[in-house]
């Protein structure tokens, strides 16, 4: 028997005895090996604990930065408008305000642009949205009656007895909700330019949002009846006709404000 055949015979004999593992020259403590293996982090643990570079995420513009950009764009568009028609066109093309997408029509103005008195309301309602004109619903009918009581009319061609009407918002908010501060801020430049181009002698600010947009103040119950100034001209805060429809008892205060407006136009105050 050769040496190799002898080695194989010994190996076969050991297998028959149940030996199933090669033994090294130096002893190995298998209990210690098991304990060490249990302490070693698994591949999954390493993957979890290892710092991972975040996957690339498309960055969305900051809300405040977006609002500021909208205001800046509105200011540039409004300043570039050299006429009322061009201002209307600029407003119609202003894409930053989402109100336009839920409204039927742009509500720009009504009345005589040469009028001594310019009225700034709040926002179009359902009827205004349908017709594309401010103050044409029940509130508009009441406004016409109020103006008629002091000899003014939106249909008059005489600048002395006519009025010119617009709103802070040219589009109807959904469900007639209040405008947001962001909406007021981005549309304010158009309203201020509207006042500059129409160049009225006197402004009438009807309702909280007209006062907030042009005076930076709210609280129409406190503000009404007290003359203020907007763009170098006298401005009178008044109750909105829609409010008077809900609170008829306040009509006496509105009448007092109308008399104050009439006196201002006569140069008596």
The tens digit of pLDDT for each residue in 192-219 reads 999 999 999 999 999 999 999 999 999 9
Residue partners of 37: CB distance under 8 A and separation at least 6: none
Could you read off the pLDDT of 58-75 as tens digits, one per residue? 555 688 888 899 999 999
Give long-range contacts, CB 8 A cutoff, 24+ apart: 72-75.
74/186, 74/187, 74/188, 74/189, 74/190, 75/189
| Global confidence as pTM | 0.77
Residue 119 structure tokens: 């009225």
Q: Answer yes or no: is 154 within a domain.
A: yes
Q: How confident is the model at residue 44 (pLDDT cuts 50, 70, 90)?
A: very low
Q: Which range has the worst mean pLDDT, 52-61, 76-85, 177-186, 257-266?
A: 52-61
Asked whether residue 110 is assigned to any structural domain, the reply reads yes
| Average pLDDT score over the chain | 88
> What does the pLDDT read at residue 6?
72
Q: What is the pLDDT of residues 82-108, one digit of tens each?
A: 999 999 999 999 999 999 999 999 999
Q: Which residues contact 144 (CB under 8 A, 6 or more apart)?
A: 135, 153, 154
pLDDT digits (tens, 9 = 90+) for 142-162: 999 999 999 999 999 999 999
Residue 48's pLDDT is what? 47
Residue 37 lies in a domain: no
Is 173 among the domain residues?
yes
Per-residue confidence (pLDDT) for residue 62, from 0 to 100: 80
- Nearest 5°: the CA angle 232, 217, 106 is 80
Domain that holds residue 170: 63-265
Residue 119 lies in a domain: yes
pLDDT level of residue 269 (50, 70, 90 thresholds) = confident
CATH code of 90's domain: 3.40.470.10
Within a domain: 231: yes
pLDDT surpasses 80 at 173: yes
Report the C-alpha gap between 139 and 215 in whole angstroms.
23
List pLDDT tens digits, range 224-239.
999 999 999 999 999 9
- In a domain, residue 157? The reply is yes
Q: Which of 180, 171, 179 is nearest to 126 (CA)?
A: 171
Residue 15 falls in which region: left (phi positive, over 0), alpha (psi -120 to 50) or beta: alpha
Identify the residue with better confidence: 184 or 29: 184
Residue 16 lies in a domain: no
Question: How many structural domains compose the chain?
Answer: 1
The answer on pLDDT for 52 being more than 60 is no
Question: Whose structure tokens read 């600048």?
Answer: 159
């Amino acid at each position: 028997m050769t040496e190799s055949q002898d080695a194989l015979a010994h190996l076969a004999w050991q297998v028959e005895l149940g030996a199933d593992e090669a033994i090294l020259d130096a002893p190995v403590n298998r209990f210690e090996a098991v304990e060490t293996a249990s302490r070693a982090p698994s591949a999954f643990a390493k993957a979890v604990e290892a710092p991972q570079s975040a996957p690339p995420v498309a960055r969305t513009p900051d809300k405040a930065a977006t609002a500021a950009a909208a205001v800046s764009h509105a200011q540039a568009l409004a300043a570039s408008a050299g006429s009322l028609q061009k201002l209307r066109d600029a407003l119609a093309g202003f894409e930053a305000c989402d109100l336009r997408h839920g409204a039927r029509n742009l509500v720009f103005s009504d009345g005589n642009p040469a009028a001594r008195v310019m009225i700034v309301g709040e926002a179009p309602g359902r009827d205004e949205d349908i017709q594309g004109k401010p103050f044409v619903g029940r509130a508009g009918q009441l406004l016409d009656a109020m103006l008629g009581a002091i000899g003014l009319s939106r249909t008059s061609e005489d600048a002395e007895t006519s009025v010119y009407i617009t709103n802070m918002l040219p589009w109807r908010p959904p469900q007639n909700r209040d405008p947001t501060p962001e909406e007021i801020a981005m549309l304010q430049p158009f309203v201020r330019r509207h006042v500059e181009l129409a160049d009225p002698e006197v402004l009438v600010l009807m309702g909280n949002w007209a006062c907030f947009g042009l005076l930076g103040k709210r609280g129409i119950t406190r503000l009404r009846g007290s003359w203020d100034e907007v763009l170098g001209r006298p401005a009178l805060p008044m109750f909105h006709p829609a409010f008077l429809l809900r609170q008829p008892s306040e009509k006496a205060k509105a009448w007092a404000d109308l008399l104050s407006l009439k006196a201002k136009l006569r140069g008596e105050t």
